[in-house]
Structure 1
Amino acid sequence: MSVVEQYARAHIVTDTDVQVLDERGAIPVVLRYDPEADPQVVRMRLPGPHEWSLSRSLLEQGLRAPASSGDVRVWPCGRVQAVVEFHSAQGVSVVQFDTKALMRFLRRTYLAAAPVEREAELRR
């Protein structure tokens, strides 16, 4: 059971205190999944102290149609992009990703989770 970590580039769509932009106006984002810690949760870490947790199923649903749960909303933006919106006491962060990067990450999480899910079923 291995942790899945993938680096991606994203665009901040709203005002925020994230100041680490590359030459294309993108920010580095770390997508992380640990099937042993919680097989239903993925994490997105933006530069600085910005880390968000959301359900893996919400991320997957949001790539096809608007979906939300609590303080997180995900929706497709055209054919090749997706938007993730995070609400907190500090405000709202809206981040735009290439859908391919998120889909590649999700595929890797399902491969990593397969042994954990099989082991859990055997214990039942």
Structure 2
Amino acid sequence: MSTVIEQAVQARLVASAPHMETVPATLRYDRDDPFAVQITFPAPATLEGVEVAWAFSRELLATGVDEPAGVGDVRVRPFGHDRTVMEFHAPEGVAMVHVRTSDVRRFLTRAEALVPAGCEHQFLDLDRDLTDLLRDAC
């Protein structure tokens, strides 16, 4: 069984103009980092012209599809019938995208099948993490 789930989604970029540009994005979940999810935007969709990835907690995403969640760099909240808003706060500014809630729920269901919520600690490799942390200490 694969330990990584990737799912393509269409993100609608919210801009100051009334037009919302659709950009491709990829949601990713890796069992080796069981508490986190990642969304990646390809280079053509970013101001910098390089691929940009944001990592944040799976719990934040799961909560945010039903009610506003997050107070830091990433915030997620429901919007309308089948949209979820993701806000990404950086020193350069704020990016806001809408994604289909049904796509997010499908992704979360697949991640839940790989690592059930509440069982994430069982998939941590603390010995490896400690070894990596201490590798350069000597």
Letter in 2 for 1:107: T
Q: Distance in 1 between matches of 2:88 and 2:21?
A: 19
The equivalent position to 2:63 in structure 1, one of 61, 82, 85, is 61
Matches within 5 A, 1:27-66: 27-36=23-32, 38-48=33-43, 49-66=51-68
Identity of aligned residues (%): 37
Distance 1:25 1:35, change over 3 A: same
Structure 1, unaligned runs of 5 or more: 16-23
Q: Distance in 2 between matches of 1:60 and 1:77?
A: 14
| Cα displacement (A) at 1:50 | 1.5
- 8 Å contact kept, 1:58–1:69: no
List structure 1 runs of 4+ shifted beyond 3 angstroms: none
- Using the size of structure 2 for normalisation, the TM-score is 0.73
Higher RCO (C-alpha 8 Å, min separation 6): 1
Provide, for residues 35-64 of structure 1, a one-character-per-residue CA deviation record: whole Å limited to 9, x for no partner.
11x101000001222210110000011111
- Using the size of structure 1 for normalisation, the TM-score is 0.81
